[in-house]
């Protein structure tokens, strides 16, 4: 028998000789002696050796534990890369009596690096998400799909859309959102590109533009419909525009007979003098050459100053007409994180200690896109950083509850991989810098490997393989939103019916 427990406020544990007790932080026999412990507080600092009574070697130990609200609750907010990593780590490190609860708005983990391929109909949207319950498998941590509305740090509780969640220790990993820098009309008139839904909606809109353009006989109107502008020359913007370029050359050019290749115009607008900030000048030059060769217009030092329903203004002068302006230009943390006390950096990330603890609240850890660690204030908002911080946060929560010294987070640059559409990518990992077809194969292999779950890996690999033989699946999945042409047509249709 390992443990027999009667839980009635007073708990009795029977421990057979020499069996290693695994009562987590309550410690146990090390094969030589058994220990018992009286705990009179939920305060972890009392769980020290002084509170333990040693039983002689070889005895049958009877462990009496007075349980007074012993069960501690660790709550993790956000089921993205960082939060999930933290929950999985906590599961391994905390004793079974402790509650671990993961709260997230979505019931899935989204593999963001493949989002551009959703917008270009290359892969099925379902194939880049994995439900948290599937990832959890047989692990014991609890999951709650819920939206966090506010955090009361003083009362140690989280207020969610469906109730109140008390915590003893909190891990905040709520990710980020788009930043519009106060540019007039940007939020209302551009297509956001952060979530799975954003990518699916954008995909349907792009297809809708092609459908309308196909039967629009007036050339100028057709060109306006087929002018696609991506604001932001970072990794996401560049990957998105090259994916769209593949889509037009491989699919639209073949299937839409009313559209000529010259009708499509793809433009990237970047406010700074450079795109793909962070990669070497040599690789950047390769990337630029590649984009130009594909007919993508890259406009640097082009600061967006105004956005309208079907135009974008740059540098307070030039107007570009477009029915599709996608915003990938900036990130900002969620308002919940911005409202946390203590210092914040330029994008609103909570500036936390090297152990990822919030200033003045050692029981609160902040990770991923939400955090700027004191030891790595310039760490980029990318998945490897989020995953590493999630792991450190889990270990530090365990250390914190045991009253041990905490670990520091240090940033390790894991390199950059940027896909530039079919058959071409640039790879920069330390001294390893290359571009071209092998870089593209490497990009594919790494992303396939990083996808969570064999099923998803196979599904994406199949999408890629089938895409080389069969045409893309370009069915519009939902009624296109914000389509002025459809809205007009629907209005006219109703009027006609009413007049009959
Ligand atoms: C289009 C795109 C492409 C990207 N490409 C790459 C790439 O190629 N390589 C790379 O390394 N990084 C990439 N990134 C960045 C990477 O996705 C992030 O750095 C990473 O996801 C951050 O992890 P996180 O856990 O901090 O946040 P997230 O993964 O964003 O997770 C946040 C979680 O919090 C939940 N949440 C948010 N608000 C609430 C709330 N109020 N209540 C409850 N739950 C909430 C969300 O549902 C989500 O599950 C990309 C990002 C985007 C948007």
Question: What is the residue extent of each domain of the chain?
Answer: 10-66, 73-105+146-178+332-402, 186-329+415-486
Asked if residue 106 has its Cβ within 6 Å of ligand 1, the reply is yes
pLDDT score, position 488: 74
Q: How many CB atoms lie within 10 A of CB 489?
A: 12
Among positive and negative, which fits the CA dihedral 15, 20, 24, 27?
positive
Asked if residue 104 has its Cβ within 6 Å of ligand 1, the reply is yes
Q: What is the mean pLDDT of each run of 10 residues along the chain (500 residues)?
A: 34 32 35 37 39 45 48 95 98 94 97 97 96 96 98 97 97 97 96 96 96 93 95 96 96 93 95 90 91 95 95 95 95 97 96 97 97 93 96 98 95 91 90 92 95 94 94 87 75 46
pLDDT score, position 491: 52
Determine contact, residues 410/416, Cβ cutoff 8 Å: no
Residue 113 C-alpha to ligand 1 middle, in angstroms? 10
DSSP sequence for 114-169? GHHHHHTTSS-GGGGEEEHHHHHTT---EEEE--EEEEETTTTEEEETTEEEE-SE
Give, using CA atoms, the residue closest to atom 50 of ligand 1: 112
Residue 224 C-alpha to ligand 1 middle, in angstroms? 33
Instruction: Write the CB contacts of 489 (distance below 8 Å, at least 6 apart in sequence).
Output: none
Atom of ligand 1 nearest to the CA of 106: 47
Atom of ligand 1 nearest to the CA of 148: 42
388-392: list long-range contacts, CB under 8 Å, 24+ apart.
Answer: 388/412, 389/82, 389/173, 389/356, 390/81, 390/82, 390/83, 390/84, 390/85, 390/86, 390/89, 390/171, 390/173, 391/85, 391/86, 391/89, 392/355, 392/356, 392/367
DSSP sequence for 300-313? -S--EEEE-SSEEE
DSSP sequence for 318-338? EEEE-SEEEE-S-EEE-HHHH
Pocket test for ligand 1, best of 382, 391, 420, 443 (most atoms within 8 A of CB): 382
pLDDT score, position 267: 98
Give pTM, 2 decimals. 0.85
Rounded Cα–Cα distance for residues 328 and 179 (Å): 9
Rounded Cα–Cα distance for residues 174 and 195 (Å): 13
**Residue 3 C-beta-side C-alpha neighbours within 13 Å:** 19
Residue 421 C-alpha to ligand 1 middle, in angstroms? 23
Determine contact, residues 40/66, Cβ cutoff 8 Å: yes
Asked if residue 80 has its Cβ within 6 Å of ligand 1, the reply is yes
Asked if residue 250 has its Cβ within 6 Å of ligand 1, the reply is no
Closest CA to 473 of 20, 101, 121: 121
Token pair of 2 as six digits:
């390992």
- In CATH terms, the fold of domain 73-105+146-178+332-402 is FAD/NAD(P)-binding domain (3.50.50)
Determine contact, residues 251/471, Cβ cutoff 8 Å: yes
DSSP sequence for 67-101? -SS---EEEEE--SHHHHHHHHHHHHHS-TTSEEE
Q: What is the CATH number of domain 186-329+415-486?
A: 3.50.50.100
Residue 118 C-alpha to ligand 1 middle, in angstroms? 16
Q: How many CB atoms lie within 10 A of CB 107?
A: 14
Pocket test for ligand 1, best of 75, 76, 79, 80 (most atoms within 8 A of CB): 80
Closest CA to 228 of 214, 244, 249: 244
Asked if residue 278 has its Cβ within 6 Å of ligand 1, the reply is no
Asked if residue 82 has its Cβ within 6 Å of ligand 1, the reply is yes
Asked if residue 381 has its Cβ within 6 Å of ligand 1, the reply is yes
Asked if residue 147 has its Cβ within 6 Å of ligand 1, the reply is yes
Sheet holding 425-429, edge to edge: 416-419, 425-429, 432-436
Asked if residue 175 has its Cβ within 6 Å of ligand 1, the reply is yes
Residue 31 C-alpha to ligand 1 middle, in angstroms? 45
Distances (CA, A) of 115 to 155, 326, 396, 424, 497: 39, 13, 32, 18, 41
Rounded Cα–Cα distance for residues 225 and 324 (Å): 8
Give, using CA atoms, the residue closest to atom 41 of ligand 1: 148
Residue 390 C-alpha to ligand 1 middle, in angstroms? 13
Atom of ligand 1 nearest to the CA of 240: 1
Distances (CA, A) of 87 to 84, 387, 389, 394: 5, 11, 12, 7
pLDDT score, position 10: 34
Pocket test for ligand 1, best of 88, 172, 383 (most atoms within 8 A of CB): 383
The reply to whether 73-105+146-178+332-402 and 186-329+415-486 are identical in fold is: yes
Asked if residue 368 has its Cβ within 6 Å of ligand 1, the reply is yes
Token pair of 111 as six digits:
């593999």
For 7, counting Cβ atoms within 10 Å of its Cβ (0-12 exposed, 13-18 middle, 19+ buried), the class is exposed
Residue 110 C-alpha to ligand 1 middle, in angstroms? 8
Rounded Cα–Cα distance for residues 83 and 113 (Å): 17
| Lookup result for tokens 């990337």 | 287
Asked if residue 78 has its Cβ within 6 Å of ligand 1, the reply is yes
Number of H helices, E strands in the chain: 14, 30
Q: Which residues are catalytic?
A: 239
Residue 173 C-alpha to ligand 1 middle, in angstroms? 9
Determine contact, residues 344/366, Cβ cutoff 8 Å: no
Distances (CA, A) of 157 to 44, 73, 86, 97, 165: 19, 11, 19, 20, 5
Asked if residue 421 has its Cβ within 6 Å of ligand 1, the reply is no
Residue 449 C-alpha to ligand 1 middle, in angstroms? 19
Closest CA to 400 of 185, 117, 98, 102: 98
For 434, counting Cβ atoms within 10 Å of its Cβ (0-12 exposed, 13-18 middle, 19+ buried), the class is middle
């Amino acid at each position: 028998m390992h443990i027999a427990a009667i839980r009635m406020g007073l708990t009795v544990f029977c421990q057979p000789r020499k069996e290693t007790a695994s009562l987590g932080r309550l410690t146990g026999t090390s094969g030589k002696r058994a220990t018992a412990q009286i705990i009179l507080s939920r305060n972890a600092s009392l769980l020290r050796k002084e509170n333990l009574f040693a039983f002689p070697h070889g005895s049958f130990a009877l462990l009496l534990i007075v349980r007074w609200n012993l069960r501690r609750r660790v709550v993790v907010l956000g089921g993205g890369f960082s939060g999930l990593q933290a929950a999985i780590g906590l599961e391994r490190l905390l004793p079974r009596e402790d509650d671990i609860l993961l709260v997230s708005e979505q019931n899935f983990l989204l593999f963001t690096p493949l989002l551009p391929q959703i917008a270009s109909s290359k892969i099925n949207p379902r194939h880049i998400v994995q439900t948290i319950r599937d990832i959890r498998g047989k692990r014991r941590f609890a999951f709650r799909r819920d939206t966090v509305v506010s955090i009361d740090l003083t009362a140690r509780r989280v207020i969610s859309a469906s109730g109140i969640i008390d915590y003893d220790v909190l891990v905040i990993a709520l990710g980020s959102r788009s930043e519009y820098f106060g540019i007039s009309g940007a939020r209302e008139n551009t297509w956001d590109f952060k979530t799975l839904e954003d990518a699916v909606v954008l995909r349907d809109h792009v297809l809708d533009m092609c459908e309308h353009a196909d039967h629009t006989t007036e050339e100028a109107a057709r060109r306006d419909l087929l002018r696609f502008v991506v604001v932001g020359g970072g990794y996401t913007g560049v990957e998105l525009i090259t994916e769209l370029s593949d889509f037009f050359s491989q699919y639209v050019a073949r299937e839409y007979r009313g559209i000529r290749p010259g009708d499509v115009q793809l433009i990237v607008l970047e406010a700074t003098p450079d795109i793909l900030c962070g990669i070497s000048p040599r690789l950047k030059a390769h990337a630029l050459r590649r984009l130009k060769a594909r007919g993508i217009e890259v406009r640097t030092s082009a600061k967006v100053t105004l956005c309208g329903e079907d135009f974008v203004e740059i540098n307070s002068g030039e107007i570009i007409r477009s029915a599709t302006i996608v915003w990938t230009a900036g990130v900002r943390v969620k308002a919940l994180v911005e409202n946390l006390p203590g210092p914040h950096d330029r994008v609103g990330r909570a500036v936390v200690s090297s152990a990822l603890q919030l200033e003045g609240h050692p029981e609160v850890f902040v990770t991923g896109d939400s955090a700027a660690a004191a030891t790595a204030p310039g760490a980029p908002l990318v998945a490897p950083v989020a995953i590493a911080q999630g792991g450190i946060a889990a270990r530090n929560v365990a250390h914190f509850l045991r009253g041990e010294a905490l670990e520091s987070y240090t940033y390790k640059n894991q390199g950059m991989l940027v896909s530039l559409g079919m058959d071409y990518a640039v790879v920069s990992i330390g001294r390893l810098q290359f571009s071209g077809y092998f870089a593209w194969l490497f990009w594919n292999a790494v992303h396939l490997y990083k996808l969570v779950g064999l099923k998803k890996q196979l599904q994406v690999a199949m999408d890629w393989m089938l895409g080389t033989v069969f045409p893309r699946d370009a069915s519009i999945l939902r009624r296109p939103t914000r389509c002025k042409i459809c809205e007009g047509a629907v209005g006219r249709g109703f009027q006609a019916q009413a007049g009959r």
